Amino acid sequence: MSRDGIVARVADTQTVLIKVHGPDRPGITSSLMAALDELGAVIGDVEQVVVRGHLVLALVVDVAATASLERVRSFSDDPDLIVEIEPAHPSPTDRDAGVVVTVIANSVPSDLRAGARELAPADLAAVAETIAAHNGNIDRIVRLSRYPVFSYELVVLGAPIDELRADLMRLSRDRSIDIAIQPDGLGRRSQRLVVMDVDSTLIQHEVIELLADEAGCRPKVAEITARAMAGELDFEQSLRARVRLLAGLPIDALQRARDRVVPTPGARTFIRTLRSMGFKVAIVSGGFTYFTDHLQQLFEIDHAFANELEIRDGHLTGEVVGDVVDRRRKAELLRQVASIEGIPLDQTVAVGDGANDLDMLATAGLGIAFNAKTVVAQAADVAISVPYLDAILFLLGVREIDVLIDPD
């Protein structure tokens, strides 16, 4: 078609916005599309959502300038269905890749049976105001979950991610809500590998402290652990110092310690859902293989790595065998697993809570700080402070309806 032909065609059309809202029922969309087809309309954009049985449908269409739109206005005989038509700009809305802002109510009641804390209108208003202050436009809002936490996902266009993240993090602290911001795009929708820390992430304990209970040296071990996780001590040196305190511990003490391990709430649901989505799951621990081998079998985890305790004559020698799984090694193992599984690094997710996880979080496509130390929460791509591991699913864009709650 010639340039003049294109101009003529455009001049002979009108662009209109059609808004339909009212009680939802089967057949509304198909009837409207049939009416538009009769007019020879060309659809430029369409969005539809149903909220508590109420339909909101919006379309931008091009139709002949001489076409009568009464057929569209009367496409349904339902008097409760409202149809509004108004002129629209013919140029499509500019859309950049955008960012995704996930807002999570991070306060939980003392009695968990009372249900999750809801996000107040004031919480969402504060988030929206912060986005607007950065000239961001909220393109879409979707409720992700009501259990175990209330969460919403906002797709935002036109806002600079770094500046917006800084202000949203301040808002998160001020209002005691979790706010995560990450780039939208193909990478987020194609994530395929989750690599997790174990102690205080997959489980609620530091296993070396459980062993220290058996050896009667918990206060000494706990002090060294806290300093290591805060980044004040070299991890390998601190690990070897703590393990030496366990010298002489009989191996049946490992069984007793393992029996005390309690998974983090939501851990089974988290892994079960990931596996149903085709994710590979790995655990990398600064703890010990005696525990991670058990957890790998219990949760059907694809890969597990940890330190190996040296045992002689049925007792711990106070030494570890081979290379220590420290901060650097955790990042190496993430790359190794990604390579084995043929998964690009930008499609990987890492989850951890301590300074020993920092390199791993930085290496992954998305690094998530889970109930983390301050230094880790500030360095990670996103941070979450609710006590449920499966709440991480909502950061990945999973909706509550797709979560496979573990029956146990």
pLDDT tens-digit profile of 127-177? Answer: 999 999 999 999 999 999 998 899 999 999 999 999 999 999 999 989 989
pLDDT recorded at residue 8: 43
User: Are 167 and 126 in contact, with CB atoms under 8 Å apart?
Assistant: no
CA–CA–CA angle 118, 354, 336 (5° rounding): 110
Query: Would you place residue 107 in the very low, low, confident or very high pLDDT band (cuts 50, 70, 90)?
Result: low
**CA dist 60 to 16, 27, 63, 69, 372, Å?**
6, 20, 10, 13, 46
Strand order in the sheet with 193-196: 315-321, 303-312, 280-288, 193-196, 348-352, 366-370, 382-384
pLDDT recorded at residue 11 = 58
Given 24, 62, 178, 199, the catalytic residue? 199
Out of 51-65, 98-112, 231-245, which region has the weakest mean confidence (pLDDT)?
Answer: 98-112
What superfamily does domain 99-184 belong to in CATH?
ACT domain (3.30.70.260)
Q: Band the pLDDT of 194: cuts 50, 70, 90.
A: very high
- Provide the mean pLDDT of the chain: 90
- What's the confidence (pLDDT) of residue 96? 66
pLDDT surpasses 50 at 81: yes
Question: What class has domain 3-87?
Answer: alpha beta
197 catalytic residue (yes or no): yes
What is the residue whose two structure tokens read 């081998």? 293
Of 400, 331, 397, 407, the C-alpha closest to 147 is 400
Listed in order, the ranges of the chain carrying CATH 3.30.70.260 are 3-87, 99-184
For the chain, residues classed under CATH 3.40.50.1000 are 193-207+261-402
So what's the architecture of 193-207+261-402 in CATH?
Answer: 3-Layer(aba) Sandwich (3.40)
Highest mean pLDDT among 98-112, 142-156, 184-198: 142-156
Which one from 197, 353, 357, 359 is the annotated catalytic residue? 197
